[in-house]
Amino acid sequence: MWAWLGRLMRRERRPKTGLPDALWQQTLDACPFLGALPASDLARLRELSTFFLEDKEFHGAQGLLITDAMALTIAAQACLPVLHFGPGDQPLRWYDDFVGIVLHPDEVVAQREVVDEHGVVHHYEETLAGEAMHEGPVMLSWHDVTAASSETGYNVVIHEFVHKLDLRDGMPDGCPPLTKGFMGQPSARAARSHWLATLQTAYEAFREAVIKAERFGGAPPWLDPYGAEAIDEFFAVSSEAYFVNRARFGREFDSLLPLFDAYYQARR
């Protein structure tokens, strides 16, 4: 009896329904950077996207009607960072802290409140193309989803779902949970130290380039200057570029390429 139960529990989950070929091709056309993936990765991405659509709920805001094509376009890009995180639907466990994805037609103006070191409360507005909350839903602007570009390294879907990976331990610090043995490190703590030291160096160089461009008319950096706001934003912004234009990312951030290859388990 127990052997039978064990086999049942280990049985791989299968998609309840398949994706129509025409719909999948429409997604590939909408995300041309996916065409650089090997055929085996594309097949795996298609399967994982199907699981994603079965598990998540899409909600259109401000009267936005979400089509199957829109949902799949988001699902495929959301699954890309975790594509090699295990067989079957195991990679989606990294996203199991939420169900809802809220899609707005355009950017959203959010009301913010911060308390400074003197206890004074400051209110301000922030324009958002997307937002990922710890143990909460993911918000996206459809306009920005369609603005993804390999040329500029911009991809808001990947950006927000990388934030979800970063937030798995509850800390938005630019370092996702790592295990012993990552890049040969003897412990999880050593892996984290190695990650943060490598990322911090690249972040500081990027931040300096952004400052020179904005204040002194220097050459603008390739990536979105928003990555200079904080190291967790730099992790998300640089991950966007890694997935949509790995070749240029490797030239611009040669120190980060081995780090991201090791984490995302790139197969090239």
- List, for residues 204-226, the tens digit of each pLDDT value: 999 999 999 999 998 999 999 99
Tokens for 68, please give them.
């199957």
- Specify whether the CB–CB gap between 78 and 52 falls below 8 A: yes
Instruction: Give the confidence band of 129 by pLDDT, cuts at 50, 70, 90.
Output: confident
> Measured in whole angstroms, how far is the alpha carbon of residue 80 from the centre of its chain?
8
Percent of the chain at pLDDT > 90 equals 81
Instruction: Report pLDDT for 8.
Output: 42
Contact (Cβ atoms closer than 8 angstroms) between residue 134 and residue 167: yes
Whole-prediction pTM: 0.90
Query: Residue 3 — pLDDT band, cuts 50, 70, 90?
Result: very low
Q: Where is average pLDDT lowest: 2-16, 30-44, 132-146?
A: 2-16
Reply yes or no on whether the pLDDT at 6 is more than 80: no
How much is the average pLDDT of 143-160? 96
C-alpha distances (whole Å) from 224 to each of 30, 53, 131, 187, 240 are: 21, 29, 16, 33, 10
Helix (H) or strand (E) holding 101: strand 100-104
Per-residue pLDDT of 41-50, as tens digits, reads: 999 999 999 9
Average pLDDT, the chain: 90
Burial class (CB in 10 A: 0-12, 13-18, 19+), 237: buried
Would you say residue 54 has pLDDT above 50? yes
Q: How far apart are CA 154 and CA 224, in angstroms?
A: 7
Per-residue HEC secondary structure of 201-242 comes to HHHHHHHHHHHHHHHHCCCCCCCCHHHHCCHHHHHHHHHHHH
Given pLDDT bands bounded at 50, 70 and 90, which one contains residue 11?
A: low
